[in-house]
Structure 1
Amino acid sequence: MSVKTDNRLTPRQRLARGLVYSTVGPVDVTRGVAGLGAQSLAATTGELRRRYRKSQLRRELAAAQETITRELAAAGEVVSGLPDAIQEARSAQHPGRRRWLVAAGVGAVVVAGGAIAFSAIRRSSRPEPSTLPPSVQVDPKP
C-alpha cells in the first residue's frame, strides 16, 4: 500500500519540469512563468508598500518638528514679553493680583508648550509594532 501525497510544485520547479518534459511541457512552462510573474508582482507590491509607509513616517516627523519649532517660537515670544508684563503688573493698582495672573499665564503657556513638544517627540519616537510572534512564552507556566 502506498500513500498518495500531493506535492505542490513551486513556480520555479514547475518551469524547470515543463522545460524537461515534452508532453506536459507547454502547460507547466505557462504555469511556471505565470507563477513567477505573480511572485514577482507580490514582492514588488510589498516593497512599494514599505516605501510608502516610510515616506508617510518622514512626513509625520517633519510635521512634528515644525510643530515643535512653532511652539518654541511662541514660548520665546512669551518669555521675551515677560519683562514688559512684569513692569505693567508692578505699575497697576492691584500689583499682587496681576502679578499672579501674569505668572499663571506664563506658566500655563510653558506647560502647554512642553506638553505639545513631549507628545510630538513621543509620537515620533514610538517604534512600529512587530508583525512577528513573541519569541518568549507569554503565558506563565503553572
Structure 2
Amino acid sequence: MRSKTELRLTPRQRLSRGLKYSTIGPVDVTRGALGIGVDSARSSAAWVGDRYRRSELARQLKAELSAAQETVAAELAAAQEAVAQLPDTLTKGRRTRSRKRTLLIAGVGTVVLAGGAAAFVIVRRSTQPEPSALEPSVEVTPKP
C-alpha cells in the first residue's frame, strides 16, 4: 500500500536513484547534480559570511580591549599615586585630631552601650511571666 504523501528526496538520494534507474535516470541525475551544486554553493556562502562576521567582531573586540587596557592603566597609575601619598595623608590626619574629641567619642559610645544594656534588661524582664499567686492545681510531689 502506498501513502498519499510522497517523500521529498535529497539531492544525494535523487542522484543515486537516477544512476540506479535507467528510464528516469537522466532527469534525476541532472536534478541531483544541480541540487548538490546549489547546496554546496549555499554552504560556501554561509561559511564566507560567518568568517566575515567573525573578523569584524574580532576587530571590534580588539578596539574595545585596547580602550579597556588604557583605562585600567590610568586607574592603576592613580591607585599607585594614592598609595605613595598614603603615609603623608595618615600623618596629617593624626596631627589634626584632638585628644578631647577622642574622649568625647569614647564617652558617647559608653553611654550608648550602657543605655542599650539597660533597655535589654528591662525588655527581658517584661517578657518573663510572673509567678501565679494561686496554689498549683496539680500536686507538685507525686505519691508513690
Give TM-score scaled by structure 1 length: 0.48
Compare relative contact order (CA 8 Å, sep 6+) and give the higher one, 1 or 2. 1
Greater radius of gyration (CA)? 2
Give TM-score scaled by structure 2 length: 0.47
